[in-house]
Structure 1
């Protein structure tokens, strides 16, 4: 059992339905901020750095939930599908790659951030400068499921 006394509670299992996601921001050891997407893959609760392995500036969750189907996270630009539990992709542009994990623990129905390489900052994405393209992906493809 992992001690959750000093871990940040992210949400609850009940608040994260199967094939749904929860976006949050962490502070890295080097002082940089990183987005993390927490997912319920049906057979697991897992957290991943919020970017596609094929093109790291492409976010999986653009602020309104990661596209998911049948326990897989779908890249909104390329359509590559990552297993929500293992992070592995066996198709599309990201074939053969694996998402970068962030440690979380489920205890008594609560989900905690237990990764010692970062600390919880806030729910939602990194605060960015406001401009007319805010929230839009950096591609001509805007897949949403």
Structure 2
């Protein structure tokens, strides 16, 4: 069995959408993170659950919006490559989502990032997160 905390089975990561989980950073701050599918090995990537343009959650609890291998910000529509995290359009153009190091083994995804500790599946239990008044829908 690989080192690191098990996050989820690879099969639990939807092809279009995300698997939301919560981690804790070195300063004991809880952070939301997402697993998304990717066409490049190992087939899954992990990102912090925030748009780089502003503190906007990409997955608000019902999975990220995805199209053609890109994660779509629900507020302004910036699109991030699911494999590289890079954005080349919209308000977040020229930025890259902060990644979380993972490994895939035995059909499961494991947290391997020394900067984070896995806490639980699902998002943070707070009501203070950013909100959107966007007209966009997917």
Tell me if TM exceeds 0.5: yes
What pairs up with 1:74-93 in 2 under 5 angstroms?
74-93=72-91
| Alpha-carbon distance in structure 1 between the residues aligned to 2:122 and 2:53 | 23
Report the TM-score, using the length of structure 2 for normalisation.
0.90
Question: Runs of at least 4 residues of structure 1 off by over 4 A?
Answer: none
| Alpha-carbon distance in structure 1 between the residues aligned to 2:56 and 2:11 | 29
Q: Does structure 1 residue 16 correspond to structure 2 residue 20? A: no
SS in 2 for 1:73: strand
CA deviation after TM superposition for structure 1 residue 108, in Å: 2.0
SS in 1 for 2:91: helix
Q: Contact 1:23/1:65 (CA < 8 Å) preserved in 2? A: yes
Match of 2:134 in 1: 141
Aligned residues: 136
Q: Does structure 1 residue 102 correspond to structure 2 residue 95? A: no
What stretches of structure 2 of length at least 5 have no aligned partner? none
* CA deviation vs aligned residue, 1:62-118 (integer Å, no higher than 9, x gap): 111111111110000010000000000001111110000001111121111111111
Q: Does structure 1 residue 28 correspond to structure 2 residue 25? A: yes
SS in 2 for 1:9: strand
Single out whichever of 42-51 and 85-94 deviates more from structure 2: 42-51
| Alpha-carbon distance in structure 2 between the residues aligned to 1:143 and 1:113 | 33
Q: Contact 1:80/1:89 (CA < 8 Å) preserved in 2? A: yes
What stretches of structure 1 of length at least 5 have no aligned partner? none
| Cα 1:142–1:111 shift into 2, 3 Å | farther
